[in-house]
Amino acid sequence: MPRLIASRLAISLLTLLIVSMLVFVATELLPGDVAQAVLGQSATPDAVAALRSVMHLDQPGWWRYLTWLGGLLDGDLGRSLVNHIPVAQLIGSRLPNSLLLAAVTAAVCVPVALTLGIIAAIRRGSLYDRVAGVLMVSAVSVPEFLVATLAVLLFAVNLHWLPAISYGGSIHSPLQFFRVFALPVLTLSFVIIAQMARMTRAALISVLDSSYIEMALLKGARPVRVVLYHALPNALGPIVNAVALSLSFLLGGVIIVETIFNYPGLAKLMVDAVATRDMPLVQACAMVFCTAYLLLVTFADVCAILSNPRLRDR
């Protein structure tokens, strides 16, 4: 098993390397000259040439990629094209906010989703299961910005309970904390809970279909006991896997949610950078997000390996 996990980690590293190439190539696709685009139409040829050499645009692409990659590993992410602040500093000031948002969302989602999913699996085919099923499908297929819009309409415009925009920065009391996080977390949780509960239900049901569960029921064990003591331990691996995969949906969600609620996180920084075409910042933010995503997916894979006894001897 250690060999299997080691090879899984090696594959993740390789994937990260390919992803870095993808991100670099995608951001270099800009037709025409970046220096020209930065300086605008009225720039003199001298100024464009000078900026080209400062930005190393006169060097071949593979060389610039290697320099950029070396800089990434070194922690030197370059400077923003817009305000010339080091990218590392910009990211450093926003990353904790995004991590906090993700942590609060995860803390809300995991218990709720597991409860919903397990109940649906226990009472499979019941009215609750079918209604919950339709609701979950609907929640998964509605875009986050709609959920956010409706939540603002209900809680901020009609009921006046919560502010429509989160003001990050200083939070002094639990009430303030709640007011800042309530709407963004509600929006994010909506999709993630539905996804996680569906996968939990599916994982548990596939265990419940096995013959040892039928045996346990036949010998007279109560259904709740069968689910909690007989089935759940065996479904734990797939469920942890489902949790990690669902949390990776966070990465798409935060981009929308941080923009709508003006939350000062990394995703908002990246959307602003895209709007101003601030390439070094876009590249660095993209790499942070891809790394986070790969970490979650790899974690899910390793959990799946650890929980499967058949893979233990490899």
Partner 1 sequence: MSDATLQRRASNRRTGIVALSVVGFWVAIAASGPFVAPHAEGNVVSSDVFAPISTAFPLGTDYLGRDMLSRVLFGARDTIGVALLATLLACFVGGTLALCAAARGGWTDAVLSRAMDALISVPSLLFGLVVIAALGSSIPVLVGTAAVIYTPGAYRTARALAVNIAAMDFIRVARARGERTTFIMADEILPNMLLPLLTDFGLRFIYVVLLLSGLSFLGLGVQPPQADWGSLVRENIEGLAYGAPAVIIPAIAIATLTISVNLLIDSLSSRRQGADAR
Alpha helices in the chain (DSSP H): 2-27, 34-39, 45-54, 61-74, 87-122, 127-141, 144-151, 174-208, 211-218, 223-225, 232-247, 250-260, 266-276, 279-307
Q: Which two tokens stand for residue 129?
A: 């299961």
Subset of residues 131 to 170 that bind partner 1, contact rule: CB under 8 A = 133-134, 137-138, 140-146, 149-150, 152-153, 157
Task: Return the range that interacts with partner 1 (CB under 8 A); candidates 24-32, 39-47, 104-112, 180-188.
Answer: 24-32
Q: What are phi and psi of 21, to 5 degrees?
A: -65, -45
Q: How far is the CB of 202 from partner 1 (least distance, A)?
A: 13
Q: How far, CA to CA in Å, does 21 sit from each of 24, 25, 59, 64, 68?
A: 5, 6, 17, 11, 10
Cβ partners under 8 Å of residue 181, min gap 6: 101, 104, 166
Subset of residues 264 to 303 that bind partner 1, contact rule: CB under 8 A = 270-271, 273-275, 277, 279, 282-283, 286, 289-290, 293-294, 297
Specify the residue, 142 or 221, whose C-beta has the smaller distance to partner 1: 142
Subset of residues 225 to 264 that bind partner 1, contact rule: CB under 8 A = 248, 251-252, 255-256, 259
Specify the residue, 93 or 276, whose C-beta has the smaller distance to partner 1: 276
Give the count of beta carbons closer than 10 Å to the beta carbon of residue 149: 13
Partners of 79 in beta bridges:
86
CA gap 113, 196 in Å, rounded: 6
Q: How far is the CB of 174 from partner 1 (least distance, A)?
A: 29
Specify the residue, 200 or 230, whose C-beta has the smaller distance to partner 1: 200
27 near partner 1 (CB under 8 A): yes
Is the Cβ–Cβ distance between 250 and 188 less than 8 Å? yes
15 near partner 1 (CB under 8 A): yes
Q: How far is the CB of 188 from partner 1 (least distance, A)?
A: 13
Q: How far is the CB of 299 from partner 1 (least distance, A)?
A: 13
CA gap 127, 139 in Å, rounded: 18
Number of residues that bind partner 1 (CB under 8 A): 53
Q: Report the interface residues with partner 1, using CB under 8 A.
A: 11, 14-16, 18-19, 22-23, 26-31, 125, 130, 133-134, 137-138, 140-146, 149-150, 152-153, 157, 248, 251-252, 255-256, 259, 270-271, 273-275, 277, 279, 282-283, 286, 289-290, 293-294, 297
